[in-house]
Copies of this chain bind each other. A is one copy, B any other.
Amino acid sequence: MQLPSRVKIIDVGPRDGLQNEKQPVPSEVKVGLVQRLQDAGLAEIEVTSYVSPKWVPQMADNHEVMQAIARKDGVRYSVLTPNLKGWEAAQQDRPDEIVVFGAASEAFSQKNINCSIAESIERFAPVVEAARAAGVAVRGAMSCTVGCPYEGDIAPGRVAYLAGLMKGIGVERVDVADTIGVGTPLAVQRAIEATQQHYGIDQISGHFHDTYGQALANTLAALQLGVWNFQSSVAGLGGCPYAKGATGNVATEDLVFMLQGLGIETGIDLDRLVDAGVFISDFLGRKPNSRVATALLNKRAG
């Protein structure tokens, strides 16, 4: 089995993980989480988003959080920017990278952001241009690249189409996201291969949700194609708050355990990562949604 020798993980817990949390999370807790993630060795952290607080009240403190984090050399701090207004606000806080987004499913694009895929990309074009002119990196999150709640299976051609649009407006690297977690290893490989029509393997990251328990198998399939950038969420933060027990992003702990077992370098200290997950889970009043965290915490408890 051919595998990369190292993997870089973007922990999206502070942003993607917390954004749907119903209970307000104070800025100092978010800052504490970012601190613990970088202390555990995470070199990329998705910190917050600059969207309207009407839509995502949990991220209304983006400025406070970005100003309060103690930046560490070599760590990349990224933020989500949905439009020029968001970019302008974000710019003040000097993110290393901004994230724009688009869906591979037309129906999802219409229902989620009320416009076609092509229109959404057109709207992002000036954001990407402004960010790059300011020397800030740009990542494109491609959602529903395997399945869509409205359309079902997504053809690889639709993923290639979206990747081509992203490339066209200057997005430097993209995430292949299985937003609803229905993907299985071969389907995920096809979505990645479609993306490779426009991006090199070094510019592609895997973002797999664990709703159906498939995220690590999908990660293994992606590793076998040479993908070495992955996104995950400490303590499995995220998921749909309306579906009890449904999970969102794969837990960073579970991903790191597999990578360490495969002999792949991540730079992450698993024990400290588990501690970071306990920190935020304690605040939220629940257990980490991670099998590795559960098993290791049981071991610690004897």
The verdict on A216 contacting chain B, using a C-beta distance below 8 Å, is yes
The verdict on A295 contacting chain B, using a C-beta distance below 8 Å, is yes
17 more A-B residue pairs beyond the given contacts A213-B216, A217-B217, A243-B298, with a C-beta to C-beta distance below 8 A: A182-B261, A184-B257, A184-B260, A184-B262, A185-B220, A185-B261, A212-B254, A212-B292, A213-B254, A213-B258, A213-B292, A214-B254, A216-B216, A217-B219, A217-B220, A244-B298, A245-B287
Q: Which residue of B lies closest to A301 (CB)?
A: B243
Q: How far is the CB of A259 from chain B (nearest CB, A)?
A: 8
Which residues on B sit within 8 Å (CB–CB) of A263?
A: 186
A-B contact pairs, 14 of them (CB 8 A): A1-B186, A185-B261, A210-B291, A212-B254, A212-B291, A212-B292, A213-B216, A213-B251, A213-B290, A216-B217, A217-B219, A220-B220, A220-B221, A246-B298
Is A184 a contact partner of B261 (Cβ separation < 8 A)? Answer: yes
How many Å lie between the Cα of A159 and that of B219 in the bound state?
27
Q: A186-B262, A220-B185 are in contact. Are A211 and B1 (CB under 8 A)?
A: no
Is B245 a contact partner of A185 (Cβ separation < 8 A)? Answer: no
The verdict on A224 contacting chain B, using a C-beta distance below 8 Å, is yes
Q: A217-B258, A221-B220, A287-B245 are in contact. Are A1 and B210 (CB under 8 A)?
A: no
Instruction: Report the count of interface residues on A (CB-CB < 8 A).
Output: 41
A interface residues with partner B (beta carbon < 8 Å)? 1, 3, 181-187, 189, 210-214, 216-217, 219-221, 224, 243-247, 251, 254, 257-258, 260-263, 287, 290-292, 294-295, 298
How many Å lie between the Cα of A255 and that of B199 in the bound state?
32
How many Å lie between the Cα of A219 and that of B220 in the bound state?
11
Q: A186-B261, A263-B186 are in contact. Are A295 and B216 (CB under 8 A)?
A: no
Q: How far is the CB of A199 from chain B (nearest CB, A)?
A: 21
Q: Which residue of B lies closest to A236 (CB)?
A: B213
Specify which of B212, B220, B254, B292 is in contact with A295 (CB 8 Å cutoff).
B212
How many Å lie between the Cα of A3 and that of B186 in the bound state?
10
Q: Which residue of B lies closest to A258 (CB)?
A: B184
How many Å lie between the Cα of A292 and that of B246 in the bound state?
9
Is A1 a contact partner of B213 (Cβ separation < 8 A)? Answer: no
